[in-house]
Amino acid sequence: MNVASEMRNATGGEVLETTEQVEKALDTLRTTLLAAIKAGDRIRLQ
Among residues 10, 41, 20, the alpha carbon closest in space to that of 33 is found at 41
Give me the residue spans of the domains in the chain.
3-38
pLDDT at 7 > cutoff 90: no
What's the whole-model pTM score? 0.76
DSSP code string of 1-39:
--HHHHHHHHHTSS---SHHHHHHHHHHHHHHHHHHHHT
pLDDT, tens digit (0-9, with 9 covering 90-100), for 10-40: 888 888 899 998 998 899 889 989 999 999 9
Residue 12: its pLDDT value, please? 84
Residue 6: its pLDDT value, please? 80
